[in-house]
Chain A
Amino acid sequence: MKKQLLFLALSLLMILTGCRKEDDFGGASLQPVPFRVSVKFDAGVGGNPAKNAAVSLKNASTGDVITGTTDDNGELKFTAVLPGQYTINASLTLSQQQYFETFGITTSKPEVFFNGGQENATINANVSSTAITLSSGTVGDFVIKQYYYAGSNTTQGASFRDHFIEIYNNSNEVLYADGLYIATLEGNTNSTLTSYTLPTGQYDWSQSTGNNIGSAANTDYVYASNIIKVPGTGTQYPVQPGESIVIAQSAINHKAPYTNNNGVNVGIQNPALTVDLSTADFETYLGDYEISNGGTPYVYDIQNPAVPDMGIVYWNGVSKDLLLNLSSRPALVIFKDVTDAQIASYAKVPNPKDLAGRLYMRLPKDIIMDGIDITNAALTAPKDLPNKIDAGKAYIQDAAGQSYADYTGYAVIRKTKSTIGNRKVLEDTNNSTNDFVTIKAEPRTFAP
């Protein structure tokens, strides 16, 4: 008996003395760890370390942000970072002069924006460093200006029928919209990690049937559910600098969607809830496409003969109209300078979650001029786009950063950076978190 008591006392002592401050007791007393971020340019511009890059680490659970700037070796050393999951972003803006000095290459752009980052990055005692690659987006002059995916009140507004996309000529010369492609991308609906996802929560597209290209499947390509195209001969639809084109799901005045036979437009209960898209430049009418494929037109898909239809390049049928508030929160990309024949040659693969399901078109990321990644109200829908195209995510939110729900009539719109004469130049740092703000959707308006 005595022996047993002695043993008990001893083991208690051992437990007490054996405990050291550094031991991890399930996060009860997290000890900060040192962390190092190495930032370099992508291989396209030489792959050298990037100095003076702004780096931010955002803690996923606390929301705390730590920032810093890289040194001459492209490194930033934090001495004490709380272990956890982080979103790491790095960005660098080079002027025309700096760009030439850094790479020995001339550019026509007054400024070039480099972005890089990592979602769901783990920092703890075992992971003490990460490497971020900075890349600059394809230089294009059309940018996505407004993305209205929320829709308006389901009973008194126009519900999901008033979605639209606005694309802006951010350059100082006339551009032609003819042949501009717009694609909505497929992605996971939430960030829960499963066998078919990457650590970021996004689909691991390398698991898709017929997509045997290794990790490039996730880094070099995006996957489109629908691709539409501006019609025209090449010079039919000029867009003046500082002007935009509006692509509507249905180009009607949703505030008064019905014209009776006396030519009177009949309004809805609360017209202020929705938008007038009767002056849209293009609309997405799928009735003819559905009929030619043995289907029936969607009941709410109204054909306005006065507004040209977008061409249907690829439509995988996930929706019967240009619905933008799908649960996958489709990222939007625009591209040009490829032919329909080239697009037709791209591989079509199922998403890895549903290998027997619909097929998505694999687009090389290098063709993309601009893109915007969005997420849902719970902010759980992961990024569909590589950092090179959009290093952040945009979503409709109030001034305090709280996300709005769908059917609230809000849209995300690109910030105005400066005004040259009458022409507004929009912010384009290839990071939609920085570039976009929330407004009440309204075609051809500007951010406040």
Chain B
Amino acid sequence: MPKIVKLNKKILLFVFQWVAISLNAQTLSGVVVDADQRKPISGVKVGIENTGIWTVTDQSGNFSIRYHANETVLFSRAGLLEERKTYTTPPASGISVEMQMASIRIKEVELSARKKNFSEIEIKEEALQKIQSFSLGDVLQQLPGQFIKPMAHTEMKNIVLRTATGETPFYSVPDAEDFGNKAFGTQLVINDIAVSNNGNMQQYNTASSGPFTNGLYGFNVTTNNDKGVITPALPNYGADLRQIPTENIEKIEVIAGIPDAKYGDLTSGLIKVETKSGKRPLQILTSLVEGTYQAGASQGFQLNEKGDALNVSLNYMNTNFSPRTGDVFYKRYAGNLLWTKHAANGNFRNRLGLDYMQDLNEGQSGEDMYHGIYVRTTNKQFSLRNNMNLKFGDAFLDGFNANLGVTYGDQNSMRRMFYNTQAKPYPVSMTEGVYYADYTPPQYFEYNYVDGNPLNIFLDSDVYKTIKTSKDWIHNVSLGINYRYSDNFGAGRSSNLNGTFSTVPSTIGNANTGNRNYDFDQVNSMQQFAAYLQNNIFKRFANSTSLMVNTGLRYDLQNKYSVLSPRVNASYRMKNLILRGGAGLATKAPSLNMIYTGPRYIDMLLGDYRLPGVYSVAIAQTIIAPANNADLKPSKSWRTEAGFDYKFPFATIALTGYRNLLFDGFTTYSNIIELQRAKVEIIENGTAQPTFDIVGTENFYYIQSLQTNGLDSEDTGLEMIVNFKKIESLNLNIGLRATYVETVNNKTVNSYVRATENPDIAYGVFSPYTSTTQASRAGINLDYHIPDAGLIISVSSDHFLLDSRISRGTQYPEYYLDNNLVSHAVTAADLENNIIKEMRRSRGSDYYDLDGKTFHNFHLRVSKDFLSGVRISVYLNNMFNLKAFDQYGRQYAGFTPMTFGGNLSYQF
């Protein structure tokens, strides 16, 4: 620890060296007007690129800002195209800047996702409409490595970036843990406030299952007839992107590389969303595809001449997996309010947002209530977000930002199943001991509930100062703190019989980890503290070359473990070439659900004596093993990337290579515990109930499934984005993206198999499986854009070039444990005898690939904007109705079938 303090001191010293240097600034002033009507525009943010300096235009569109020669001034306001100006000598009389509405009637409007300074990608304006979207999860399908996926609106949506196991659905083997860790480690930030899933505890059997394995009690359903799937917002994964409608999104920035030190509680990527603010006309939108539709309205009301505004949006979405059977559906209601307030002098800006979201997942897997599982989950979420930006004028520090977010949820999950058991012993004691167990009714509905009330609080605040040295090096220094709080106040897990039928031991002598009611009162809060220092350095050299280096250092205290994460991103810009690279460490705290599992009840059935018509007596023992996984460390990831952008006369090509090492990932391991099983002697009493005497105990080993930090995953890949220069004569924009990635997963904990044939051997010990997955994807966009007609016709393609997976594992144990748990190596001779053979696993190494096959899918979109304010978009995914089968004749997962959808919007 002293080392860190020392280091911090050094950096601080380094920072303050410039303080004395006087600055030589001029003032740039002017007015911003509407390009068509020449009316002044208020509330435009005027900022100096690569510095933290900004101001806002007043009600007459006027502004003035400190300016140094050759700096770039950026004018931006929601709904308008961004403008950039650079002056060698700023005109003393002031400047006039014209801004245009961002619409498809403007030729400069951005049609597709664009790469920014390093490898971050921005989706805004028309690019948000590229894919028919019902939620944030859909919009992100245009990122490199992603593709248009089948509409699965009844399933939770997560995104994983730069990994080859990205198509793994929830809970599926074999790479669910890898997918889960990376989805969990992808941080979503809306208006500078993290959206956290850390407080979600909607899992029933946490005490006995892994973080990313479903076990027997998932609140998910697959229907028998048409394979409709319900997956509600699960804990331990990332926030459900399906809960975020897109109509009030202004722009999205995706950082798959190294985020600034400001951003924490992530390992695998950052998605920053800015919502619409400021004056906006009323817009009404409806969209329809297959069994899904949504309707929404949004408007930005200007509150006064200063440009203060209130933005309101409402959205309703309804999806029915199969309208014919109607047994799986999802509904979402969302409403957002955003109040923006500026100070007259442009030194203060505050945004207060209130969001409400409610959704419902419901489905039944069988033909009636007696068959299959019925699941109903509801999720109500209320969020308050406040962003305050303050400038200090001539003070020592330039400004202060504070972001506060509070999210409170009401999550209710219910699972119902009918059991026809003929009555079975049901040992669900809440205390340890040997006891007479109850029986189940002969037939009954089992109801399992999880009622959670997660509370997540996020606070991030920083001070910043821009320093320009005598040699024109600009340092944007910020120092901030970050606090996160997660807790859950729900009634917790419960069941109508205080347990679950499938986890009670089924036969005499069996032991099993049972489920019990668990009140989330017993869950403590989890807090994260962090402090960070960021210095973004910019230097412009002669010959239009420049250097940008973002350096940061972040200190995190997460679940009692502290980590210091350095981060750096650099780019060196030459005339036609930009060289860039970065490296950094990031950490993700475990979720509440991973830490607080509740006590683990190990139930054993010792006897079941029945005299029909007279009595039924079951004798059972329950042992309580320690609760929770209190010692889970944060998972960590070292991320590095290097790349270049080269500008040819006809195209710009961006190539990025990366290598990300995730370690201490969350996974499950087998823990052998020694229990004392009671020996009982039964005393028969004729037709009276038999009684028992405990005559001693015997040692008994039991394998528990506990959660630990034991997964390493390494992603190595290459990402290319090519944007061709617009072919003016054809009104054609062409873009291309291609990725290759290899993911190597390595679980670092062994697994055990119980030996049954040889009494001298207790367990066989296996090394974990390792897997190598490779994927290569490409996509081409052809956008035919006629601004005068307000028309876009675009064809995009998804190409699946490579999919392979090798899993390595042994079928025979490498060690075995004797009855004293002493380890013995398995020798060649042991392999010959039947004792080892008995512990053979069915799966050894296996291999899957497409055997040289490639798949290609093509999508069409037509958007037409009418001058009346009506806009119609038609989306035809898989326009040629192609079908993809791999060489085993199986349908290729993720290949979207032909779907026809439309959007209709009206802007007043």
Interface residues of A (CB under 8 A from B): 154-159, 161, 250-254, 256-261, 263, 265-269, 278, 296-297, 299-300, 302-306
Shortest B793–chain A CB gap in Å is: 55
Residue of A158, A253, A266, A267 with most chain B CB atoms under a 10 A cut-off: A266
**Are B371 and A155 in contact, CB atoms less than 8 angstroms apart?**
yes
Shortest A264–chain B CB gap in Å is: 10
User: Which one of A156, A258, A297, A303 lies within 8 Å of B422 (CB-CB)?
Assistant: A258
**Are B439 and A258 in contact, CB atoms less than 8 angstroms apart?**
yes
| Chain B, range 564-620, C-beta contacts under 8 Å to A | 610-617
**Are B610 and A259 in contact, CB atoms less than 8 angstroms apart?**
yes
Q: List 29 A-B contacts (CB under 8 A).
A: A155-B418, A157-B420, A158-B422, A159-B420, A161-B422, A252-B422, A252-B610, A256-B442, A258-B441, A259-B610, A259-B611, A259-B613, A259-B616, A261-B615, A263-B614, A263-B615, A265-B613, A266-B423, A266-B441, A268-B420, A269-B443, A278-B612, A296-B509, A296-B510, A300-B422, A302-B610, A303-B610, A306-B612, A306-B613
Q: Which residue of B lies closest to A269 (CB)?
A: B443
**Are A299 and B612 in contact, CB atoms less than 8 angstroms apart?**
no
Q: A252-B610, A259-B616 are in contact. List 17 more A-B contacts (CB 8 A).
A: A155-B370, A156-B420, A156-B443, A157-B420, A250-B422, A252-B612, A256-B442, A257-B422, A257-B442, A259-B615, A263-B613, A263-B615, A266-B442, A267-B442, A299-B507, A303-B610, A306-B612
Interface size class of B (residues with CB under 8 A): 20 to 34
Shortest B719–chain A CB gap in Å is: 53
Contacts known (A259-B613, A260-B616); A154 close to B422, Cβ less than 8 A: no
**Are B612 and A251 in contact, CB atoms less than 8 angstroms apart?**
yes
Residue of B370, B423, B612, B617 with most chain A CB atoms under a 10 A cut-off: B612
Q: What separation, in Å, do the CA atoms of A299 and B501 have in the docked complex?
A: 13
Contacts known (A296-B507, A297-B507); A304 close to B612, Cβ less than 8 A: yes
- Which residues from chain A contact B509 at a C-beta distance below 8 Å? 296
Interface flag for B516 (CB, 8 Å): no
Q: Which residue of A lies closest to B617 (CB)?
A: A261
- Which residues from chain B contact A265 at a C-beta distance below 8 Å? 612-613
Shortest B201–chain A CB gap in Å is: 32
**Are A258 and B616 in contact, CB atoms less than 8 angstroms apart?**
yes
Q: What separation, in Å, do the CA atoms of A256 and B371 have in the docked complex?
A: 21
Chain A contact residues: over half helix, strand or loop, or mixed? loop
Shortest B246–chain A CB gap in Å is: 44
- Which residues from chain A contact B424 at a C-beta distance below 8 Å? 299
Interface flag for B689 (CB, 8 Å): yes
Shortest A77–chain B CB gap in Å is: 55
**Are B443 and A253 in contact, CB atoms less than 8 angstroms apart?**
no
Q: Which residue of A lies closest to B440 (CB)?
A: A258
- Which residues from chain A contact B441 at a C-beta distance below 8 Å? 258, 266
**Are A258 and B613 in contact, CB atoms less than 8 angstroms apart?**
no
Contacts known (A156-B443, A158-B422, A268-B443); A259 close to B370, Cβ less than 8 A: no
**Are A259 and B422 in contact, CB atoms less than 8 angstroms apart?**
no
**Are B508 and A304 in contact, CB atoms less than 8 angstroms apart?**
no
Interface flag for B506 (CB, 8 Å): yes
Shortest B839–chain A CB gap in Å is: 17
**Are A258 and B420 in contact, CB atoms less than 8 angstroms apart?**
no
Q: What separation, in Å, do the CA atoms of A72 and B610 have in the docked complex?
A: 65
Q: Which residue of A lies closest to B611 (CB)?
A: A305
Residue of B420, B506, B614 with most chain A CB atoms under a 10 A cut-off: B420
- Which residues from chain B contact A299 at a C-beta distance below 8 Å? 424, 506-507
Shortest A201–chain B CB gap in Å is: 31
Q: Which residue of A lies closest to B507 (CB)?
A: A296
- Which residues from chain A contact B443 at a C-beta distance below 8 Å? 155-156, 268-269
Q: When A and B form their complex, which 7 residue pairs have the shortest distance between CB atoms, in order from nearest?
A: A258-B423, A155-B370, A296-B507, A252-B612, A257-B422, A257-B442, A299-B506
Shortest A241–chain B CB gap in Å is: 30
| Chain B, range 333-358, C-beta contacts under 8 Å to A | none
Q: What separation, in Å, do the CA atoms of A305 and B617 have in the docked complex?
A: 13
Shortest A269–chain B CB gap in Å is: 5
**Are B612 and A259 in contact, CB atoms less than 8 angstroms apart?**
yes
Shortest A153–chain B CB gap in Å is: 9
Q: Which residue of A lies closest to B508 (CB)?
A: A297
**Are A155 and B420 in contact, CB atoms less than 8 angstroms apart?**
yes
Residue of B442, B507, B614 with most chain A CB atoms under a 10 A cut-off: B442
- Which residues from chain A contact B418 at a C-beta distance below 8 Å? 155
- Which residues from chain B contact A157 at a C-beta distance below 8 Å? 420
**Are B422 and A302 in contact, CB atoms less than 8 angstroms apart?**
yes
Q: What separation, in Å, do the CA atoms of A154 and B509 have in the docked complex?
A: 27
- Which residues from chain B contact A156 at a C-beta distance below 8 Å? 370, 420, 443
Q: What separation, in Å, do the CA atoms of A157 and B442 have in the docked complex?
A: 10
- Which residues from chain A contact B612 at a C-beta distance below 8 Å? 251-253, 257, 259, 265, 278, 302, 304, 306
Q: What separation, in Å, do the CA atoms of A265 and B614 have in the docked complex?
A: 9
Q: Which residue of A lies closest to B613 (CB)?
A: A259
Q: What separation, in Å, do the CA atoms of A161 and B422 have in the docked complex?
A: 9
- Which residues from chain B contact A254 at a C-beta distance below 8 Å? 422
Q: Which residue of B lies closest to A305 (CB)?
A: B611
Q: What separation, in Å, do the CA atoms of A242 and B891 have in the docked complex?
A: 63
Q: What separation, in Å, do the CA atoms of A263 and B687 have in the docked complex?
A: 11
Q: What separation, in Å, do the CA atoms of A35 and B419 have in the docked complex?
A: 58
- Which residues from chain A contact B615 at a C-beta distance below 8 Å? 259, 261, 263
Residue of A251, A254, A256, A305 with most chain B CB atoms under a 10 A cut-off: A305
Contacts known (A257-B423, A261-B689, A296-B509); A306 close to B442, Cβ less than 8 A: no
User: Which one of A250, A251, A259, A266 lies within 8 Å of B614 (CB-CB)?
Assistant: A259
